[in-house]
Structure 1
Amino acid sequence: MAILKTQAREKGYFNVPVWEQAFRCVELVAAPALAFYLLSQGGWLAVAGCVLLAVHYPRTAYLGHDLAHNHWGPRDDAKPTLMLRAVSLFQGFGATWWVEKHELHHSFPNACRMKDGVLTPIDGDIDSVPWIVWDKSLVKYNDTARKTTFEKLLAHIMPRFQVPLFFPLLSIARFNWSWQSIETAARKERNIEAALCVAHWVVGMTLAGMLTPGAAWTGWLWFLTAQLFGGFILAFVFVLNHTGMEVYDANEAQGFYDRQARSTRNTPSSVVLDWMTGGLNSQIEHHMFPTMARRNLPKMREATRRAMVECGYAYEELKNGEAMRAVMGALSEAARA
């Protein structure tokens, strides 16, 4: 992997060209501006605007993901800092909560540790109880993790219905992420970030209510529908990468590469799929080279596969339908456990 990383750096795969940075800045502003303009026209144009705004949200999340992974330079530098604040405004959730959680995920994807005889998640992405139990090995954790009577009740009821409720739960993911972003930024006194995340909702609801040709509530419904659809797209992309892969005790893994191979899968690559997923369909390569510009990740697939197989690691690549069946199978097993 060190050799591959050196070769990729020599080819410029870690660089995001200035033209691409400029395009992403234009996209960040132009997409929601056009969406709100279409809302003001009413009818089917408003529906098209809702879809455009929904697609804009995962696209903006991918930009925030790039910035947090230092693709535009160290994220504490002036330009990435400014752009992360812009993402907070246009996205509704910020980097402070996400960075800490996501960097732990990259180090220990799907990993757990034994704590008082219970397999307890290290990776926060699989710690979603009482709402979802991602793997049957986490059922005992689900039963013991929550303390209040309400949480215990949810932890008892929700897993039994998590398969039919899964897609609706994905749709409300953005609201949860935004709330956690605001709460974490405020708690850590990142007041500008918290204010920008709040402003996303206040400004968005205000503009939607003012610009809609109908009653204000139709604009508010338009805005919230875009949020739901956008959250669904983003969460759908994420669950294909790790859900249904092995959930394991980190002490039993043989180092960094073994942890990645156990728990990370790729899905098919094409121009359209790479655009829709922000390049995260090449998830294995992203975990091996997290600071690599994501548009170059597909170029590393074959070399990475050969290297991992040669070193005795798994390299899982499934079609999108197969990956979703693996996800639903894991959720179903957890619901029955």
Structure 2
Amino acid sequence: MPSIQALPVSRGSAYAELSREIKHAGLLDRRAGYYLGKIIVMAAMCAIGIAAFILIGSSWWQLATAAYFAVLSTQLGFLGHDAGHRQIYRSGRANYVAGVVLANVGVGFSYGWWVDKHSRHHAHPNDEDKDPDVGAGALIFTTRQARASGPVARFFYRFQAWGFFPLLLLEAINLRVASVRYLIGDRTRPRARELTMLALHAAGYLTLVFWVLSPGKALLFIAVHQGLFGLYLGCSFAPNHKGMPPLSTADAADYLRRQVLTSRNVRGHWLTDFALGGLNYQIEHHLFPSMPRANLRHAQHIVKEFCAVNRVSYLETGLVASYAQALRHLDTIGRTPAA
């Protein structure tokens, strides 16, 4: 079953030494109780949201419900992310089933597509040739991408920092389009199952929305829900790597440095942990992808101290500062002069 795993490293490496310390602290052990509680809470939130949606009826107050479902969709996405990294269960199959249910049925995008994409990101963070998250598209992230752009594209890229957050409002649509293209590109049985579950999500979602709301309100509800979902999801991932040093396979960086130097942590408290789904501990997550989310904050002091002793730059900043750094990077790249 597809899952995201760390690359193999040599036993005598600095990472192997850190890994032994982390394992000795029990931080790679599964947290069954934690995830059971998470799943129960998410199921209750879904039930409450659907009940409220039906009881409120065709009212403009449903725009507040749309915002609620945007938060819920993102939180379900975080759980699907954890399943993709085998953080929830020991069994690969159990994590796969959980991931497909959460992603395809619960949120409405392909779990298989996301695992394939996210695996490449974890293996090659900030490598413009291999990391799909820094590939040129609506945005560019490297000077090489800027100089390879045509004059019309370069004109729009000059304003990409200003367009970053507005573009995130379309991220949910992008996820769904990419999911469908991935699933219909190969007629294997797993992809057919995923496509069926994606269709069930769409049918159930649209039937409920248009059954309760008038057509105009239904369309506005969908726009608000999907727009805020994309914005929230994008804002959760944006602080992690944007503006951090690009690396390629030609750079002489071992696994530890490759993961730490390309990642940025966001400092905060329990609310930050909840809002960002644990992704604020991006360094620890990239070093130990299968570590349960609840253990990341406990691993941080070990990793931070280890990096200090081994003179590996460890970046941690506030949430607003992380966005500022990412936007400054996008602005700088967007203004790169033509070759």
Q: TM-score, normalized by length of structure 1?
A: 0.86
Partner of 1:208: 209
Q: Is the 8 A contact 2:70 2:226 kept in 1?
A: yes
Partner of 2:254: 255
The answer to whether structure 1 residue 99 and structure 2 residue 115 are counterparts is: yes
The answer to whether structure 1 residue 7 and structure 2 residue 24 are counterparts is: yes
Residues 86, 326 of structure 1: alpha-carbon distance in 2 compared, 3 angstrom cutoff: closer
**Alignment-mate amino acid for residue 286 of structure 1:** H
Partner of 1:199: 200
Instruction: Return the match for 1:111 from 112, 127, 131.
Output: 127
Structure 1: distance between partners of 2:123 and 2:171: 23
**Alignment-mate amino acid for residue 284 of structure 1:** I
Residues 159, 75 of structure 1: alpha-carbon distance in 2 compared, 3 angstrom cutoff: farther
1:274-313 to 2 correspondences below 5 Å: 274-313=273-312
Q: CA deviation at 1:247?
A: 1.3
Structure 1: distance between partners of 2:120 and 2:319: 26
Q: CA deviation at 1:160?
A: 2.3
**Alignment-mate amino acid for residue 298 of structure 1:** R
Q: Is the 8 A contact 1:53 1:226 kept in 2?
A: yes
Instruction: Return the match for 1:187 from 185, 188, 191.
Output: 185
Structure 2: distance between partners of 1:100 and 1:24: 28
**Alignment-mate amino acid for residue 112 of structure 2:** T
Q: Kindly, what percent of the aligned residue pairs are identical?
A: 25
Partner of 2:147: 140
Give 3-state SS (helix, strand or coil) of 1:209's partner: helix
Partner of 1:115: none
Structure 1: distance between partners of 2:240 and 2:174: 20
**Alignment-mate amino acid for residue 210 of structure 2:** G
The answer to whether structure 1 residue 226 and structure 2 residue 208 are counterparts is: no
Query: Which is worse superposed, 257-266 or 22-31?
Result: 22-31
TM-superposition CA deviations, 1:20-51 (whole Å, max 9, x none): 2542552474254245336526243x232111
Q: CA deviation at 1:3?
A: 2.0
Q: TM-score, normalized by length of structure 2?
A: 0.85
Structure 2: distance between partners of 1:27 and 1:153: 52
**Alignment-mate amino acid for residue 258 of structure 1:** R
Give 3-state SS (helix, strand or coil) of 2:289's partner: coil
Partner of 1:178: 176
Partner of 1:52: 68
Structure 1: distance between partners of 2:286 and 2:28: 18
Instruction: Give the total of aligned pairs.
Output: 315
More helix by share: 1
TM-superposition CA deviations, 1:181-217 (whole Å, max 9, x none): 12212223311212222333332222111112xx222
Partner of 2:43: 26
Residues 313, 27 of structure 1: alpha-carbon distance in 2 compared, 3 angstrom cutoff: farther
Residues 162, 137 of structure 1: alpha-carbon distance in 2 compared, 3 angstrom cutoff: same
Q: CA deviation at 1:224?
A: 2.2
Query: Moved runs in structure 1, 4+ residues, more than 4 A?
Result: none
**Alignment-mate amino acid for residue 289 of structure 1:** F
Residues 3, 228 of structure 1: alpha-carbon distance in 2 compared, 3 angstrom cutoff: same
The answer to whether structure 1 residue 322 and structure 2 residue 321 are counterparts is: yes
Q: Is the 8 A contact 2:63 2:224 kept in 1?
A: no
Q: CA deviation at 1:326?
A: 0.4
Structure 1: distance between partners of 2:83 and 2:55: 29
**Alignment-mate amino acid for residue 199 of structure 1:** L
Greater RCO, 1 or 2 (C-alpha within 8 Å, sep 6+): 2
1:34-45 to 2 correspondences below 5 Å: 34=51, 36-37=53-54, 39-40=56-57, 42-44=59-61
**Alignment-mate amino acid for residue 84 of structure 1:** V
Q: CA deviation at 1:68?
A: 0.7
Residues 109, 241 of structure 1: alpha-carbon distance in 2 compared, 3 angstrom cutoff: same
Partner of 1:147: none
Residues 105, 200 of structure 1: alpha-carbon distance in 2 compared, 3 angstrom cutoff: same
TM-superposition CA deviations, 1:196-247 (whole Å, max 9, x none): 22333332222111112xx222112102211110110110110101001111
Q: Is the 8 A contact 2:109 2:176 kept in 1?
A: yes
Instruction: Return the match for 2:87 from 71, 76, 85.
Output: 71
Structure 2: distance between partners of 1:57 and 1:102: 19
Structure 1: distance between partners of 2:156 and 2:118: 25
Structure 2: distance between partners of 1:270 and 1:237: 15
**Alignment-mate amino acid for residue 218 of structure 1:** K
Q: State the superposition RMSD in angstroms.
A: 2.3
Query: Which is worse superposed, 218-227 or 236-245?
Result: 218-227
Provide structure 2 residue ranges, at least 5 long, that are not aligned to the other structure.
1-17
TM-superposition CA deviations, 1:222-277 (whole Å, max 9, x none): 02211110110110110101001111233113121111122101001311111110
